[in-house]
A and B are shown apart, each in its own frame.
Chain A
């Protein structure tokens, strides 16, 4: 019961933090257009890929593991699509299926090593991270643009919303819009959220992360659950890679560097415990939104270096990790 309460407190802090940050943005940069609804939608558009990746990361972290290969996997997916349309001349649907298959295979290998060979998740996914980054370079060391017509169409597709627009200084009404990647991300969020709450697999993720021994005693196949968690993470990362490539429309070796850091910090800021067993998708989404708000605040300022966003995110991650540790200590003391 206590565990639940402290987690709710963490989630509440997260939501409050987001609101405060956004309000601060409105107060400081209101004149630059931060008040527009579109600013919020842009955060969603820019971070659609990260939202998918974070959903996968949350599932893995629920089991008490971690997956730091995600950023490189996104880069590899982008490169596969870029090379696929320019050199292999594959149709778009085949490439999308292919990167999903790559995700399944990648997750299968990592999950097998972690669940059945009992190797530390961090070591295996770090090897995966460097493997994927290196494979991106093997495919091509230069930057390649995605020139395929289907991808261009999908990328430039604007879905206008019927509300929340504003009239610009010239007197024209500007309707707010989202892109296809946001819709994909929202579907991913809804599905994973539903899965975690209502399905057998989702519940067993919590059980395995909470206590492996009692999960085994309950008759759950712990290893199979872990394996599936890593597969799910890699597949969601591949979907995230697809969303990401729609934003950047190119493949390079330096793409999505540090995305694993953003995903982990989003999940942790969103209340997912590093020890596993506790966390929600909605919290992780707020984590991503906080990350997105930080970088858009840095962008709106215009004078700050981009590394400020990194520092603030790292600081927040530190803060929340310390908070988690403090809550854990309090729980321990209450038990005694």
Chain B
């Protein structure tokens, strides 16, 4: 019994169990429909690139994974979430594509400016968005969700304005590399790997991780202990903006166009969901990056599974909302207290 308890209290218990659960559903579904029971895990090489549902989950889940990195830091530091990430992704797509195609051009097969200029400019704008959010939250003490609500609405609107409410297509092969393939490997997977490595090294060799956690656990105590709480929270939002930009980069390259209305739509829910599913408390404090990443891929696996089951994409939010609800209710302090009290009563009874 105590061994089981020790297992369920491990930090990565929740994300790993939910991941296994999703895979199990896939196995059952495949068996029921008559295909090979483990076809979810098959990886083959077709047309010179890796192919399979697992690869698909890893590939398509890249945006969520990148967003989850930034969101984890923000949630940990400020006990709030950045709901503007989806809009900021759309803004990146608009800025990048308009820069590369030229203002007012909707379809191009040559760059108006070098590729790197477009990407850097887009990411710069996203970092700026993060800085705006961070300024509101850290220095003006506005609730994080309300502060980010401004860009949630304005980000996409400004993007639409830049594109004149139209799609902007960039039909240049080199533009599609980031969302496509390098050799046999889907590039988004590589991008995620780089992001994770950089972030892990950053957290390992600087004290940022410790700072963020201590600010999240108790802002006042951290300030008295000599940390500049406001600057750390500000930095967390800037990192989140950067991550939103990188996610936007992958998403834009994938469809080689600026579809400002749809890029990053509802992505903020997925990002927050991955953080929660990763066993991180949405009330801030300690965080586990690995948990968030497993959470992110679990969500992509859920989405892929739902599409395989024939659920309309518009209906998918129902299931995600229910999952969020269950997770936050389990995490809620009164619920924990209730079960702790029950366990204590039981122990007393057994002793008597």
Residues of A within 8 A of B (CB): 66, 113, 116-120, 122-124, 126-131, 133-135, 137-138, 141, 253, 258, 261, 264, 274, 305-308, 310-311, 313-315, 317-318, 321-322, 325, 328
Interface centre among B146, B151, B282 (most CB of A within 10 A): B146
Residue of A123, A308, A321, A328 near B147 (CB, 8 A) is: A321
A287 to chain B, nearest CB (A): 15
Chain A residues with Cβ below 8 Å from B314 are: 134, 137, 141, 253
Interface centre among A126, A128, A307, A315 (most CB of B within 10 A): A307
Chain A residues with Cβ below 8 Å from B334 are: 116-118
B154: nearest residue on chain A (CB-CB)? A314
Question: A126 to B283, Cβ gap below 8 A?
Answer: no
Residue of A113, A130, A264 near B269 (CB, 8 A) is: A130
Interface residues of B in 311-343 (CB under 8 A from A): 312, 314-322, 324-325, 328-329, 331-335
B113 to chain A, nearest CB (A): 24
Cα–Cα distance between A25 and B280 once the two chains are bound (Å): 50
Chain B residues with Cβ below 8 Å from A315 are: 154
Sample of 25 A–B contacts (CB below 8 Å): A113-B328, A118-B332, A118-B333, A123-B328, A126-B269, A126-B272, A130-B321, A131-B325, A133-B317, A134-B320, A138-B315, A141-B312, A274-B143, A274-B146, A305-B161, A308-B157, A308-B161, A311-B158, A314-B153, A317-B150, A318-B150, A321-B136, A321-B146, A321-B147, A325-B141
Question: B315 to A258, Cβ gap below 8 A?
Answer: no
Question: A122 to B145, Cβ gap below 8 A?
Answer: yes
Chain B residues with Cβ below 8 Å from A264 are: 146, 149
Cα–Cα distance between A306 and B165 once the two chains are bound (Å): 9
Question: A131 to B152, Cβ gap below 8 A?
Answer: no
Chain A residues with Cβ below 8 Å from B154 are: 310-311, 314-315
Question: A310 to B157, Cβ gap below 8 A?
Answer: yes
Interface centre among B136, B143, B165, B331 (most CB of A within 10 A): B143
Interface class of chain B by DSSP: helix
19 more contacts with CB within 8 A, not counting A134-B314, A134-B317, are: A118-B334, A122-B145, A123-B282, A127-B321, A127-B325, A130-B266, A131-B317, A131-B321, A131-B325, A134-B316, A141-B314, A253-B314, A274-B142, A308-B161, A314-B151, A314-B154, A315-B154, A325-B141, A328-B141
A321: nearest residue on chain B (CB-CB)? B142
Chain B residues with Cβ below 8 Å from A325 are: 140-142
B329: nearest residue on chain A (CB-CB)? A117
Chain B residues with Cβ below 8 Å from A120 are: 282-283
Interface residues of B in 72-114 (CB under 8 A from A): 80-81, 83
B262 to chain A, nearest CB (A): 12
Chain B residues with Cβ below 8 Å from A118 are: 332-334
Chain A residues with Cβ below 8 Å from B153 are: 258, 261, 310, 313-314, 317
Cα–Cα distance between A52 and B322 once the two chains are bound (Å): 27
Cα–Cα distance between A308 and B149 once the two chains are bound (Å): 17
Chain B residues with Cβ below 8 Å from A137 are: 312, 314-315, 317-318
Question: B157 to A131, Cβ gap below 8 A?
Answer: no
Interface residues of B in 223-240 (CB under 8 A from A): none
Interface residues of B in 154-176 (CB under 8 A from A): 154, 156-158, 160-161, 164-165
Question: B160 to A135, Cβ gap below 8 A?
Answer: no
A275: nearest residue on chain B (CB-CB)? B143
Cα–Cα distance between A117 and B328 once the two chains are bound (Å): 9
